[in-house]
Amino acid sequence: MDLMQILQGQLSDDVVSQISDHIGAEPQQTATAASGIFATLLGGLANNASTEGGLSALGNALDRDHDGSMVDDIMGMVGGMIQGNQTSNATNGGGILGHILGGQQENAAQQIGQSSGLSASQVMKLMPILAPIVMSVLGKARSQGGLDLSSIGNILMGSAQNASQQGGMGDLIGSVLGGVLGGGSQQQQQQQPGQSGGMLGSILGGIFGK
């Protein structure tokens, strides 16, 4: 049980179809790119959370803007963002991406596009839609699972590591994380190999029904 599996599980066929129509792509390409984006964002969050200041900033963002309630209606959340009706901090995909990836968004989009068959511009349209889903899933895990910041950090570390080893996605995720983060998160994982299994995995499984 890890966050990558939970995030992929949020994208039903209807949601993928809705997003695909918006960015002008085939559903399979969208799903492949989404996995790369999720993995990249998990890697970025793990990298940020590897420092005390970064972990504290993440906790503040979750407490302030991301209670996880939007996970209960992903279709409505995505539809609202596509139509431009969502203007809260919780759905500010561009702002979330800025905090997680900084100035490396275009680099990530290019690498994900090359591996998924989408253009970089299509990936750039997709990333702000998916970023709030990542934060909402994290927020739900924190608010309903009673997880402290240390546990959130460990989950991120373990999930990013698992994502890089995922069958069929290893090359994509490895190249994106290596190019965007310079391998920083992977080095941190070796120093502090957080695991998302065991007790933490059971908590997540109970919350998200996996």
> Residue 194: what pLDDT?
39
20, 27 in Cβ contact below 8 A?
A: yes
> Residue 189: what pLDDT?
37
> Residue 26: what pLDDT?
96
Q: Does residue 210 lie within any of the structural domains?
A: no
What pLDDT tens digit does each residue of the chain (210 aa) get?
478 889 999 999 999 999 999 999 999 999 999 998 998 898 889 888 888 898 999 999 988 888 888 888 999 989 988 887 766 788 889 999 998 888 888 888 988 898 889 999 999 999 999 999 999 999 998 888 778 888 888 888 888 777 777 655 555 555 555 655 554 434 333 333 334 444 445 555 565 554
In the chain, how many domains are there? 1
> Residue 34: what pLDDT?
94
Q: Does residue 209 lie within any of the structural domains?
A: no
> Residue 209: what pLDDT?
56
Q: Does residue 184 lie within any of the structural domains?
A: yes
Domain range spanning residue 142?
3-203
Q: Does residue 45 lie within any of the structural domains?
A: yes
92, 132 in Cβ contact below 8 A?
A: yes
Q: Does residue 44 lie within any of the structural domains?
A: yes
Q: Does residue 15 lie within any of the structural domains?
A: yes
> Residue 9: what pLDDT?
92
- Residue 139's CB is within 10 A of a number of other CB atoms, namely 24
**Nearest residue to 5 via CA among 162, 145, 136:** 162
Q: Does residue 109 lie within any of the structural domains?
A: yes
**Nearest residue to 109 via CA among 97, 92, 99:** 97
> Residue 187: what pLDDT?
38
> Residue 195: what pLDDT?
41
Q: Does residue 31 lie within any of the structural domains?
A: yes
